Amino acid sequence: MQFDVVDLIRTKRDGGTLAPEEIDWVIDAYTRGAVGDEQMAALAMAILLRGMDRAEIARWTAAMIDSGERMDFSSLRHPTSDKHSTGGVGDKITLPLAPLVAVFDVAVPQLSGRGLGHTGGTLDKLESIPGWRAALTNEEMLRQLDEVGAVICAAGSGLAPADKKLYALRDTTGTVEAIPLIASSIMSKKIAEGTSALVLDVKVGSGAFMKSLDQATELARTMVDLGTDAGVHTVALLTNMDTPLGLTAGNALEVRESVEVLAGGGPSDVVELTCVLAREMLAAVGKHDVDVESALRDGRAMDVWRRMIRAQGGDPDAPLPVAKHQEVVRATRSGTLSKLDAMAVGVGAWRLGAGRARKEDPVQAVAGIELHAKPGDHVEQGQPLMTLHTDTPERFERAITALEDAVDYSDGPVELPGIVLGRVDAQGRQ
């Protein structure tokens, strides 16, 4: 059936509800190019301002899934469990997590993306490993899942193509932060991917899309409902993103830190979140009370990491690239660090060259920020707080400007929130 897109925009603009056939039509027509970018941008803005009800979100998601192919993991020896983070600063968790979960005979298909704006992309991080390649065919991916147990690769162009086009449009029209659009974007890709279980890491705080716990809970509930209705065992954790995760933000720097975690060391927040998410991913496929920490300590997770990197052409023993220029930022007074703002560090790392402003921009593998103190640590005036890394030193000035208000000090003790702020599962659904 043929509809008039202007009628749909008006309906949403005035707070109405789109009919299922209207949703199917507009997603298909936009993917084919019959609805223009300016029209879809107006509709996305109306959705951002007016919202969508549960039935509309479910249909919008289904229409985006139907715009492309569905993958099938049913031939694999092991069940599949996947993780998706809504994006944060220093969030390298996928790197140690995928091999760690694979240790326990669960296949981990991580179809990942590149960074846009202040949040880093998993593929950009792994591409700092000499030789590693992100693009695999579906057959290569399935073979690696069976033989190694974990794969982190680029989502092929066949998976939810409507989302690819719409996400790029939202990115340039101020319409990313709409809960119905974020939920349908993430879940259309995950449902089309065909994983049997999914753990969502919904970030909350200054460095995340969702700044408040209420907003993040609504996003988590929406995604858990979409996954559950599609037959995917879906759980969401709400986790803190006021402060960067770990002590690094930037591609090669984050790979180095991930390898430290796989070697049984690394910053305690990265280790904790990796283990919490691993336990959730395992429990989601019926493996309860697994001692995941021991697989980090005894080298089993590292063995899978090495095989995973090699299977995609990378050399796990090759030295990671290092920036030609460094600049140290020092504490301006003595005291206890009470704030280290994730957004400021993300923007700083991005300005040093770790991220891209447009999706076709290159990134510097070496660029980023290394943190020497975190909230709760006592520092003395003049002590190094951060080291900035880049190959293009003319970038230091703008990065330092971004970091001007990143840090606060306190004279007394500082109370810190935990990493995990909440959990949403299929139980208690209305």
For binding to ligand URA (CB under 6 A), which residues are involved?
Answer: 86-87, 167, 176, 181-182, 185-186
The residue ranges of DSSP E strands in 137-268, in sequence order, are 150-154, 197-204, 233-240, 248-249
Q: Min. distance of Cβ 167 from ligand URA in angstroms?
A: 6
Contact 63, 23 (CB under 8 A): yes
- Residue 84 annotated as catalytic: yes
Q: Which amino acid is at 318?
A: A
Q: Min. distance of Cβ 186 from ligand URA in angstroms?
A: 5
**Pairing relationship of beta strands 248-249 and 378-379 according to DSSP bridges:** unpaired
Identify the three-state secondary structure at position 125.
helix
Residue whose CB is less far from ligand URA, 181 or 278? 181
**Pairing relationship of beta strands 233-240 and 197-204 according to DSSP bridges:** parallel
Q: Min. distance of Cβ 292 from ligand URA in angstroms?
A: 26
Residue whose CB is less far from ligand URA, 52 or 186? 186
Structure tokens at 102: 């694979």
Residue whose CB is less far from ligand URA, 61 or 390? 61
Q: Min. distance of Cβ 183 from ligand URA in angstroms?
A: 8
In 67-137, which ranges are continuous DSSP H helix? Answer: 94-102, 122-126
Catalytic residue selected from 12, 59, 83, 84: 84
Catalytic residue selected from 83, 114, 164, 189: 189
- Residue 378 annotated as catalytic: no
- Residue 185 annotated as catalytic: yes
Among left, alpha and beta (phi > 0; psi -120 to 50; other), residue 412 is beta
- In whole angstroms, how far apart are CA 75 and each of 80, 108, 135, 366? 11, 14, 21, 39
DSSP count for the chain of H helices, then E strands: 16, 13
Q: Min. distance of Cβ 6 from ligand URA in angstroms?
A: 25
- Residue 163 annotated as catalytic: yes
**Element housing 409 (H / E):** strand 407-410
Give the HSE-up count for residue 213: Cα atoms under 13 Å, Cβ half-sphere: 11
Q: Min. distance of Cβ 178 from ligand URA in angstroms?
A: 8
- Residue 146 annotated as catalytic: no
Q: Min. distance of Cβ 396 from ligand URA in angstroms?
A: 30
- In whole angstroms, how far apart are CA 148 and each of 36, 60, 178, 213, 290? 43, 35, 37, 37, 20
Q: Quick count: other Cβ atoms within 10 Å of Cβ 149?
A: 23
**Element housing 84 (H / E):** strand 81-85
Give the HSE-up count for residue 171: Cα atoms under 13 Å, Cβ half-sphere: 15
Owner of token pair 């060391």: 265
User: Which residue's beta carbon is nearest to the bound ligand URA?
Assistant: 185
Residue whose CB is less far from ligand URA, 245 or 247? 245
Contact 351, 402 (CB under 8 A): yes
Contact 348, 388 (CB under 8 A): yes
* Residues marked as catalytic: 84, 163, 170, 185, 189
